[in-house]
Amino acid sequence: MKSLKLRVPGKLFLLGEYAILEPGSQALLLSFQRYLQAEIAPAEQFWLQTDLLPGAVNGFGYEQGQIVWQTPEARPSEKLNFVGEALQWAFAYLESLERRPRPFRLQLHSDLHSSGAKLGLGSSAAVTVAVLAAVLAFHGEAFESHEARLKLFKLATLAHSGSQRGSQGGGSGADLAAVIFGSVTCYRRYDASWLKPGSVSLNKLLEVNWPLLGIEKLPWPADLGLKVGWTGLPAATLDFLEEISYLKEKDPEGWMRFLFSANAATAAARSALIEGQNAPLLQAVGQYRHLLQELQMEFLSPIETPALVALSDSAEALGLAAKSSGAGGGDCGLALGDPALVDSVSERWRSQGVEPLELALDFQGLCLEEG
């Protein structure tokens, strides 16, 4: 068995964040040519090496369904929770196929971080998918077909929500879909209420249709400019998920109103992409910015931080459509419109402390090569 290399792109929400937490809602996501890379090769025992923890090489074993780290200090820190969970679920999947994991050395290298800080390009989703795909590919699984990717998505969802906070309360899974499928991913949130790992075999759980789940690839217009800006401030999505739980309880009607408008804007943008109409797409982006501004009124800390306000206001002043991306509170925002105007936004952003990132769209998603 030779070594295998793979890469998983970073991602951003174009539209649909927050609403996508509700089953049946839709979101549009973009992935970018900035990658989390993995290399996996046969070894005498299990090794993990990653620049997510500088210099660390961690040996581990797999005993009675559990990953056991060789030395206590080698136990992944919080940052590496995602790696541990993904390894655990990859091994559980192999076991459900009655296959014994063969020892390997897994190396992870991230370009989704800048000097150790996450850029807000979905690094936790990329890590989860990279670890699962590497271990499974090492044991002979292929990921070319839509069906195989869908199965990987389901496994990634279980692993990712395990490292967040249980299968019901974690993220929407949109980030996982985006990094597996590439630009442009239209994702429809599954209904997690029936999903009880342990009630059926893992293999079966990955085979069955998940209610409401939908993943569709859409085209991207060649004549549309897009620029991503980084606020330099990493944001914790989990804090914002708590805000949403609170809001849903306190003001269920307000949440419902948000959902209706948010899904209408996302549906309009989806149609615009399919029909190659830029104007309604840009309009939907502007609308979504307003919806997020309304939503954040009840939040303790805003979705649109001062840097994100500056990012969107200066882009709008140029005649572009702009918004924060994802949970907000920092991380990134994006601006879209006439390519000539998009180029001139960088200067304005820099003067306001927003760093323009040179990012091209990735249309492939997860990509494997044999080493």
Give a three-class secondary structure readout of 204-251: HHHHCCCCCCEEEECCCCCCCEEEEEECCCCCCHHHHHHHHHHHHHHC
Interface segment toward ligand PMV; rule CB under 6 A; list 172-180, 190-198, 305-313, 358-366: 172-180
Asked whether the beta carbons of 175 and 15 are under 8 A apart, the reply is: no
Q: What residues contact 262, with CB distance under 8 A and at least 6 apart?
A: 16, 18, 19, 25, 288, 291
Cβ distance to ligand PMV smaller for residue 214 or 319: 214
Cβ distance to ligand PMV smaller for residue 20 or 335: 20
Is 273 an interacting residue with respect to ligand PMV (CB under 6 A)?
no
| Alpha-carbon span 363 to 366, nearest angstrom | 10
Q: Which does residue 83 bind out of ligand PMV, Mg ion, none, counting CB within 5 to 8 angstroms by kind?
A: none
Q: Which residues bind Mg ion (CB under 5 A)?
A: 120, 235, 326-327, 331
Is 162 an interacting residue with respect to ligand PMV (CB under 6 A)?
no
Cβ distance to ligand PMV smaller for residue 39 or 243: 243
Minimum CB separation of residue 296 from ligand PMV in Å reads 11
Is 175 an interacting residue with respect to ligand PMV (CB under 6 A)?
yes
Select the residue interacting with ligand PMV from 50, 128, 163, 172 (CB under 6 A).
Answer: 172
| Alpha-carbon span 14 to 30, nearest angstrom | 6
Is 331 an interacting residue with respect to ligand PMV (CB under 6 A)?
yes
Give the residue carrying structure tokens 């890379």. 37
Q: What residues contact 351, with CB distance under 8 A and at least 6 apart?
A: none
Q: Which residue has the closest beta carbon to ligand PMV?
A: 326
Q: What residues contact 290, with CB distance under 8 A and at least 6 apart?
A: none
Interface segment toward ligand PMV; rule CB under 6 A; list 51-59, 90-98, 169-177, 310-318: 169-177
Is 333 an interacting residue with respect to ligand PMV (CB under 6 A)?
no
Please state, in angstroms and as integers, the Cα–Cα distance from residue 354 to each residue in 125, 232, 243, 333, following that order.
24, 7, 26, 9
Is 122 an interacting residue with respect to ligand PMV (CB under 6 A)?
yes
Interface residues toward ligand PMV, by CB under 6 A = 13, 17-18, 20-21, 122, 171-172, 174-175, 237, 240, 326-327, 331
